[in-house]
Amino acid sequence: MLQKNAVSGQNANNFLKSTSGELGCCGDSVLDCQYTATYTQANTVSAITIVENGADVVIPLTIGANSTAAQVQAALMAALVSKEYYDDNNIDWPGIVVTDLGTTLQIVITGNINVKSLTASGGTATFDPDCTRQGVCTYATTTFTGGAGSVMHINGSTQSLGTATPGTTLNADVKTAVEAALLAEGITATATVTNNGSTSFNISVTPIPNNTTLYLVGASGVKFYMARSGCTQVYN
């Protein structure tokens, strides 16, 4: 996670360091957020703009066309270090992550910094801020017997899954029904469905907010509660 040195010239390798977020001096304290932007890899990049004390700060960059994700990450880090930022090596929240998406590069910057935009030859890319952390988990149940009239209960609401008969209904159709049921309740997640022959389904969904209650009911009327695992935090 990126931090801002409160003392100019402070060695980033010091065991104890003062950050602007800790001191909050003169109204310069910044809520830690995660910022995401993409730009076309074939473009050149000439600047990144951040906001400090309510004013735009334009930091020059020299990133060539078709630069790799590693090259862009290094250039961005060097530019921000020049403005007294450093990565505190938080293993859960790397300061800068650049991902090659094919024809575009995705830049994710996380920390006590306000990132505004990236100036590229193809135009300005605006960073989208996410400043709320939320715990998310994988929810799963095994041996769901399903059948006609299967439903998913999501935080007290009921969504139909239609007919989910093991050995007859395709796993892909159950997956689609489960994802649609969650989406109807405002949860975007990916379901994984396998079957145990003609007896039952194994169903898992992720990412699900960690305060969610999920269970399935099939033709038998038995409640199959989905248990949480692999919980982590994300920005949204």
Give pLDDT, residue 27: 46
User: Rounded to an integer, what is the distance from CA 138 to the centroid of its chain?
Assistant: 14
Sign of CA dihedral 25, 82, 112, 230: negative
pLDDT in tens, 39-49: 999 999 999 99
**In the chain, where are the structural domains located?**
2-129, 133-235
* Percentage of residues of the chain with pLDDT beyond 90: 83
Q: State the pTM of this model.
A: 0.73
CA terminus-to-terminus distance, the chain: 16
Q: 3-class SS at 38? A: strand
Q: Which residue has the higher pLDDT, 24 or 217?
A: 217
Are 110 and 27 in contact by the 8 Å Cβ rule? The answer is no
**pLDDT(24) > 80:** no
Give the pLDDT band (50/70/90) at residue 22: very low
